[in-house]
Amino acid sequence: MKTIKGPAIFLAQFAGDTAPFNSLDNIAAWAAGLGYKGVQIPSWDGRLFDLKKAAESKTYCEEVKGTLASHGLEITELSTHLQGQLVAVHPAYDAGFDGFAAAEVRNDPVKRQQWAVEQLHFAAKASANLGLTSHATFSGALAWPYLYSWPPRPPGLIEEAFDELARRWKPILDAFDNAGVDVCYEIHPGEDLHDGVTYEMFLERVGGHKRACLLYDPSHFVLQQLNYLDYIDNYHERIKIFHVKDAEFNPTGKQGVYGGFQSWINRAGRFRSLGDGQVDFAAIFSKMAQYDFPGWAVLEWECCIKHPEDGAREGATFIADHIIRVADRAFDDFAAGGIDTAANKRVLGIG
């Protein structure tokens, strides 16, 4: 068995224009001071990272790793959540997602999608140059507006959406395969890959591609009432990235999983800082250890109540306390004897 690496922290929700969140060196010093050992880097944030430069220059990648190493940190993965979202966008969400793209391709869905694909290809090369083996992203969505089957969906609509999603992602998956890097889709509402069934629909269409892997985040399963422990049993061989994020679901007589169009603070399902929600992390970390999860435990802070800096500080300790140092021998080894074939046959009455 493997001991999970960590704690690590996803920097996306913390990057900003003021110190210590305004440069990779500054934010690395801050994270290390809290006890983190790794950082997951949002590839779209130019204050922290230059994705195109990382794809083209191994020297730059060594500089990035050196900056982190000077604070005792490693890079766990790169993230293209925003760019991955733009690989597939239903027209209903054009305006909402346009801000994820570079300014020069906004208001042009075709050029925006081409830009997103190029970004993913950069990410494959950059990950390889950094010596990484996994990459975090979103799948994007064409079918999401039709999640609820009213009005009745036209026959074949969902199948066509997933066929097209697979056509768009297959060349990207091949590029990551050439780079030796797994693409880990965060299973997430708003994405066509939002649960196990939809992931399997996609996986079938990309021919079971070995690089089409998973980012596990139990918070999204709490909010849609999916069994997040059973999910690990089903998909542990594909889970390569782990976001440690808490959530709670408290339905009432007035609202449930759909949230009644309310703000996060007023929804039945809410993201919370680690330890403040309902996720059974002791059971999750046990499952991850049982199945030899090969990666990092990465804090993703999203909470509608607690300040992010408090969530980050508490999260480092929370993750460290949950990482299981796995056993290097069986607890009953002391009572074991050597193999004696003759004795075994006598015990079984077959000698």
Tens place of pLDDT for every residue, the chain, 351 residues?
889 999 999 999 999 999 999 999 999 999 999 999 999 999 999 999 999 999 999 999 999 999 999 999 999 999 999 999 999 999 999 999 999 999 999 999 999 999 999 999 999 999 999 999 999 999 999 999 999 999 999 999 999 999 999 999 999 999 999 999 999 999 999 999 999 999 999 999 999 999 999 999 999 999 999 999 999 999 999 999 999 999 999 999 999 999 999 999 999 999 999 999 999 999 999 999 999 999 999 999 999 999 999 999 999 999 999 999 998 888 877 777 778 888 888 889 896
* E strand map for the chain: 5-10, 38-42, 74-80, 134-137, 182-186, 212-216, 239-244, 246-249, 269-272, 296-299
**Amino acid 322: pLDDT:** 98
Domain ranges of the chain: 5-348
State the Cα–Cα distance between residues 262 and 69, nearest whole angstrom: 43
Q: In this structure, which CATH number among 3.20.20.150, 3.20.20.70, 3.40.50.720, 3.30.450.20 belongs to the domain 5-348?
A: 3.20.20.150
- Helices (H) and strands (E) in the chain — how many of each? 13, 10
Residues constituting the chain: 351
